[in-house]
Amino acid sequence: MIRQIQPKTTTRRDLLRMTGAAAAAGGAAQVFGTDAFAQTAVGKTKAIGFDAFTIFNPLSVDAVIDEIFPGKGTQLASAWRTRIFEYCWLRTLNQTYVDFWHILDDALVFAFKAAKIELKPDARDKFMDAFLRVKPWPEAVEALKSMRQAGIRLAYVSNLTPKMLTEMSQSAGILDLFEHILSTDRVKAYKPDPRAYQMAEVVFNLSRENIVFAAFGGWDAAGAKSFGLNTFWVNHVNAPIEELGVRPDAIGTTLTELARYVTA
């Protein structure tokens, strides 16, 4: 039996205070008005927290790198992605938090240094910008609309910055589907730190059994499940389950399958 991780450093009062401050400031990390989201789902699942990459395809960055470094796009992008998440985890452990845009840039520079490839400023800017221009997975928009139409409340629970999440969502025409934009900037701790998942529990004001977390990475699915959320792994890339001693409640390869799961 896997013991749930109980957050110790961030209280419910702390999170509510941070949420209220963000809303009052009128920033991108916005809490939407209640009228548009008054309807609640009838079944067990009343809200879903999404990792952003369940909706947006981060692999599209590979082709952008390949334009400048033919034949090396996938290799370099893979090294970049690996270092991104390693830096997220290390900075959380070391309590040296910087936002995800900063992490992206640091990891990009390191990946090219490790590959002994010169990264010129124009290429660096282009690759960073590519992360703001990632497109939704083919089924994502319609699946999100179907879940909202079913009365299920939606929120991002993401490592990305509020600005990144807002710009990506506006470009895809889906920003109005989300009740909350929950970035780890609020708690200064990246997933899978339990403080990150706790944001959904507190801001939705629901018990964990009524919230589903939709994960893109297997490690993220393990983190959410260990925290105690009902977890659906949207395994777009058909990766194996992580050997972390915990399994998600359900696995699919698209958001359409998630929609069926939460509305069953």
**Type of residue numbered 103:** I
Of 179, 142, 184, the C-alpha closest to 164 is: 184
The answer to whether the beta carbons of residues 212 and 229 sit under 8 Å apart is yes
Residue 108 CB-half CA count within 13 A: 22
Cα distance between residue 101 and residue 68, in whole Å: 22
Is 14 among the residues known to form the active site? no
The alpha carbon of 96 is separated from its chain's Cα centroid by a whole number of angstroms, namely 20
CA distances from 125 to 58, 116, 120, 167 (A): 17, 19, 9, 17
Q: Which of 51, 185, 193, 220 is catalytic?
A: 51
The answer to whether the beta carbons of residues 64 and 130 sit under 8 Å apart is yes
Question: CA angle, 41 as apex, 51 and 50 as ends, to 5°?
Answer: 0
Which H or E element spans position 200? helix 194-204
**Type of residue numbered 91:** R
Q: Which residues are catalytic?
A: 51
